[in-house]
Amino acid sequence: MTIPMVFILLSIIFVVLRVMPGDPVSSMLGGHAPDSVIEEKKEQLGLNRPLPIQYVEYLVQICRLDLGDSMVFNERVTKSIADKLPATIELTIFGSIITLVLGVFMGAYAADKRRQPQDYLIRFYGIVIYCIPVYWMGLMLQLIFGIWLDVLPIAGRTGPRVFASMFEKTGFYIVDTILVRDFSALADVLVHLILPSVTLGLVLSGVFVRLTRANMLEVLKADYIIAAEARGIRHRKIVYKHALKNAFIPVLTMMGLQFALLLAGAILTETTFSWPGMGRLLLERIYLRDYPTIQGIIIVFVLIVAMVSLLVDIIYAIIDPRIRY
Amino acid sequence: MPFSPATGLAQLISRFTGMGKKYGVEWWILVAGALIVLAIVLMAMFSGAIAPFNPHDQNAGPQLAPPGGQHIMGTDNLQRDVWSRIIFGSQTILRIAVLAAIFSSIIGISLGLVSGFSGGFFDRVLSLVMDSLYSFPGLILAIAFATMLGPGVINITLAVSVIYIPTYFRLVRGQTLSIKEELYVEAAKAIGASRFTILWKYIFPNVIATTVVVFSLNIADAIMIEAALTYLGLGLPPSIVDWGMDLAMGKKFLPSGQWWLITFPGAMISMLAIGFTMLGEGLSEILNPRLLER
């Protein structure tokens, strides 16, 4: 399933970026560039060749993990992406942890208290929080915690006194600071992570509240739960251990699908928090009309989404003994 | 008994509460959502009459005045009245979100009907394409489209609508697959109805009910995507009044503490999205209690 999906998405991207109206070269060079210059640049980028040939070349390039050169900077596209990717991954990992913890526990609690005020309150939270645009949530948290209370930083991955170059190894600042045992820098990095990852985590938790609640309701009706109840096991243990474990499996599958939402949220969160990740890179390059980089970033997003869905399938098979491939 | 406004109103209220007793909380969610949506739709329809200032008036008041007095939501850095911009901004976002939802539902529903009904190779390929699109982050897709198409109301509508086509397609195709096995479809075939007649008169009416719910939730989502695109500076030329663009502009004044520039546009985007979501949730619980537990 994953391979045809990737192939189709890559083809769609090709169609959107190359076949659809809109000419990258003339828009990059501005309306005043002489035709000869435009033609020369097109020739150089291979945009003058017939589309089927461009398409085959595009696929071959991707298979070789070569995303071409930036049109604006003298740099490989893979290099600029590799620089920014760790920041985005760090943000999405922390965001998803917050989402999962919040969403799963609130969902389980609501299901346990079905049709009681707590249930309605949590379901209302689920609807409202999902409808709050992630960038606005970010701005409001910045306003409250960064400006009014002035307790948390509102931009960037580190403070001005922590030099990223000191620990640039993997690009994952948490790992890097631990590797060089610079714990004050680690604290600084973690503090900078709080607001962006809380923003991302809060907004997406609504989806998981609903999912967990719906699954828990099904599971709580099952015979083995009634049996456990009859044997006199404590109610809390039944709900949060026996039932939640079983309700969690479909939630995990949804996590794979929701990962796309998480990535989209990350792009918006990055813009709000000046977080130097893939989303910021994408937007910067859109303003500069650097088409090879734009294309490269979207391709990397496709690969990430595909990888996550594959990963979820594998984890699914491991934790659910009924599934064997 | 002659009709009078008072008895009419009383009847209406008793029917309302009667529905509330019948369906419980879901009914009130539906009503609350409908009221929010109605209020903002009225705001958009009568913008000219409600707004105290012209939204483009760069002389409406002092620069960056906090809420109060003549300007209940303050003024921005170009001396424009924030409340008037909020009122006029509702037109832009509603128009784009609703148009996008209509556009994607028409394409998605018709493709889903034809694909589910005809089956075969065409159906397999189309389903695979739609599933792939569905799995990819909608916002990134919309960003790619908006980048290529350039700013403009029509272009942003297209960019937003593309990402919802798979939602309708999957829903309608699945239902078509099961409905086409029904006895009454077979009866229609037996009396010699054409394929078009079967699709249009026998299958389509049975499919449309569930898409109503999705349509409402779809508008809610489209509102947030539209605002996200304009917030990122991709969607619209600056001459158009838009909540997302106002939010992006207000963001620059956050460090200096001008809270009203981001609070109000963002709150409006959320309110509108919440309104449509509540409408959809309420409808779905009432029309089809199992749909949301998928």
A132 contacts in B (CB within 8 Å)? 270, 273
Chain B CA closest to residue A255: B135
CATH code, domain carrying B169: 1.10.3720.10
CB contact under 8 Å between A131 and B25, yes or no, is: no
B247 contacts in A (CB within 8 Å)? 135-136, 139
Those residues with Cβ within 8 angstroms of residue A123's Cβ, 6 or more apart along the chain or in another chain: A110, A209, A210, A213
CB contact under 8 Å between B147 and A210, yes or no, is: no
Structural domain including B259 reads 40-293
Q: Which two tokens stand for residue B34?
A: 């409908």
Per-residue confidence in pLDDT tens, chain B, 294 aa: 566 778 877 887 777 777 767 777 778 888 889 999 999 999 999 888 888 888 887 777 777 778 877 787 888 877 788 888 889 989 999 999 999 999 999 999 999 999 998 888 999 999 999 988 888 888 888 988 888 888 888 989 999 999 999 999 999 999 898 888 888 888 988 998 888 888 888 888 888 877 888 898 899 999 999 999 999 888 788 888 889 888 888 888 888 878 888 889 999 999 999 999 989 888 887 776 554 443
B33 domain-assigned: no
CB contact under 8 Å between A214 and B277, yes or no, is: no
pLDDT digits (tens, 9 = 90+) for A142-181: 888 888 887 888 777 777 666 655 656 677 777 777 777 7
CB contact under 8 Å between A16 and B145, yes or no, is: yes
CB contact under 8 Å between A136 and B137, yes or no, is: no
Looking at the complex, report in whole angstroms how far the Cα of residue A204 sits from the nearest Cα belonging to chain B: 13
A154 contacts in B (CB within 8 Å)? 254-255
A203 contacts in B (CB within 8 Å)? none
pLDDT digits (tens, 9 = 90+) for B115-156: 998 888 999 999 999 988 888 888 888 988 888 888 888 989
B35 domain-assigned: no
CB contact under 8 Å between B137 and A210, yes or no, is: no
What are the two backbone dihedrals, phi and then psi, of residue A323, each rounded to the nearest 5 degrees?
-100, 125
Q: Residue by residue, what is the 3-state secondary structure of chain A?
A: CHHHHHHHHHHHHHHHHHHCCCCHHHHHHCCCCCHHHHHHHHHHHCCCCCHHHHHHHHHHHHHCCCCCECCCCCCEHHHHHHHHHHHHHHHHHHHHHHHHHHHHHHHHHHHHCCCCHHHHHHHHHHHHHHHCCHHHHHHHHHHHHHHHCCCCCCCCCCCCCCCHHHHCCCCCHHHHHHHCCCHHHHHHHHHHHHHHHHHHHHHHHHHHHHHHHHHHHHHHCCHHHHHHHHCCCCHHHHHHHHHHHHHHHHHHHHHHHHHHHHHHHHHHHHHHCCCCCHHHHHHHHHHHCCHHHHHHHHHHHHHHHHHHHHHHHHHHHHHCCCCCC
**All domains of chain A in start order, with CATH:** 2-63 (no CATH), 81-324 (1.10.3720.10)
CB contact under 8 Å between A136 and B269, yes or no, is: yes
- Report the number of distinct structural domains present in chain B: 1
CB A135 within 8 A of CB B247: yes
Q: Which residues of B162-196 are buried (b: 16+ CB within 10 A; e: fewer)?
A: bbbbbbbbbbbbebbeebbeeeebeebeeeebeee
Q: Tell me which residue in B25, B129, B255 faces A8 most closely, judged by beta carbons.
A: B129
Q: Which residues pair with A76 in a beta bridge?
A: A69
